[in-house]
């Protein structure tokens, strides 16, 4: 598997080709297009947007697995929803009787997500979008910025490994998942997609009631490098999931992961990540 840096380098090269062709045709980097039955407003200088434009979706292997896991009527949480790259495909799968709740704290990505939702009128009633950061305690202060942009160009302000850019959280609120579920009157949660770049521990610490009562399957990215100088937080994430009765499998292949930290770490490329499914098989 490739590291995140290698993936970004490939995406930058592809972006340069795509944009060059578009510029020669008098077209800009901004485009509204339809892919896999969904309409998107895309900026082809952004990594997630480019993937949707070129491949038809972001993280196609994970999207294919969703089709096997999500059924009509399911209640799904997309935590770290960004521009809605998974929110909209999930909304297709839950059908008219299901519901997708999306959570994105940055004003930049949330605005793009809202635009993408609006471009797909049949799905609007299935999605409840929130500019919110889910944490361990609803009384904690909201960070001023969170990584939510992955520009396909070099710049001094980008993260050294995943090349993301911090974007402001103005307009967002903080809550816990348990508190949100209680206030929204949600009786059961079937599935959680969790992609929050190192804040997984905080989200799950505020979701203990939901995890115990609903035992939802959880798709999350395991990326030890995002924890930087606090590698114990990655170990703690795994221990928390195992302690809650979850087993982990590779999202693409379904292969069970070893139930020990060292064994899991060996499966993840240096400065890369692995999408896994947590369930109680």
- Using one digit for the tens of pLDDT, what is the confidence trace for 80-101? 999 999 999 999 999 999 999 9
What does the DSSP 8-state code read for residue 160? T
Angle at 131 between CA 216 and CA 136, to 5 degrees: 55
Spatial distance between the Cα atoms of 226 and 255, rounded to a whole number of angstroms: 24
Provide the pLDDT confidence category of residue 190 given band limits of 50, 70 and 90.
very high
Model confidence pLDDT, tens digit, residues 64-77: 999 999 999 999 99
Q: Tokens representing 151?
A: 């520009």
Question: Do residues 57 and 89 make contact, with C-beta atoms less than 8 angstroms apart?
Answer: yes
Q: What is the mean pLDDT of residues 225-237?
A: 93
The predicted model scores a pTM of 0.95
Model confidence pLDDT, tens digit, residues 28-73: 999 999 999 999 999 999 999 999 999 999 999 999 999 999 999 9
Per-residue pLDDT, 2 = 65
Provide the pLDDT confidence category of residue 1 given band limits of 50, 70 and 90.
low
- Exposure string over 175-189, b if 16+ CB within 10 A, otherwise e: bbbbbbbeeeebeeb
Per-residue pLDDT, 214 = 97
> Quick check: helix, strand or coil at residue 174?
strand
User: Phi/psi at 179 (nearest 5 deg)?
Assistant: -65, -45
Provide the pLDDT confidence category of residue 112 given band limits of 50, 70 and 90.
very high
Residue 5 has pLDDT above 90, yes or no: no
Average pLDDT, the chain: 95
Q: Tokens representing 72?
A: 């009509």
Residue 263 has pLDDT above 80, yes or no: yes
Per-residue pLDDT, 120 = 98
Per-residue pLDDT, 51 = 95
Spatial distance between the Cα atoms of 90 and 79, rounded to a whole number of angstroms: 12
């Amino acid at each position: 598997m490739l590291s995140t840096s290698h993936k970004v380098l490939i995406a930058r090269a592809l972006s340069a080709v795509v944009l060059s062709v578009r510029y020669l045709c008098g077209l800009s980097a901004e485009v509204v297009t339809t892919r896999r039955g969904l309409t998107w407003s895309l900026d082809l200088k952004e990594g997630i947007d480019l993937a949707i434009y070129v491949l038809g979706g972001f993280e196609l292997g994970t999207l294919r697995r969703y089709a096997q896991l999500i059924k009509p009527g399911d209640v799904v949480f997309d935590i770290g929803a960004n521009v809605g790259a998974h929110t909209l495909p999930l909304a297709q799968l839950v059908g008219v009787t299901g519901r997708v709740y999306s959570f994105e704290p940055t004003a930049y990505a949330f605005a793009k997500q809202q635009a993408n939702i609006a471009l797909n009128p049949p799905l609007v009633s299935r999605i409840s979008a929130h500019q919110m950061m889910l944490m361990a305690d609803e009384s904690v202060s909201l960070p001023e910025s969170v990584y939510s942009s992955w520009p396909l160009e070099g710049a001094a302000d980008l993260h050294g490994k995943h090349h993301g850019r911090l974007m402001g959280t103005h307009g967002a609120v903080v809550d816990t998942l348990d508190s949100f579920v209680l206030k929204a009157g949600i009786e059961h949660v079937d599935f959680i997609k969790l992609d929050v770049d190192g804040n997984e521990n905080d989200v799950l610490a505020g979701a203990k009631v939901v995890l115990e009562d609903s035992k939802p399957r959880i798709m999350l990215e395991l990326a030890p490098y995002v924890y930087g100088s606090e590698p114990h937080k990655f170990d703690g994430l795994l221990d928390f999931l195992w302690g809650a009765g979850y087993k982990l499998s590779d999202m693409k292949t379904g292969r069970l992961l070893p139930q020990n930290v060292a064994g899991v770490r060996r499966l993840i490329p240096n400065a890369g990540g692995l999408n896994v499914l947590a369930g109680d098989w």
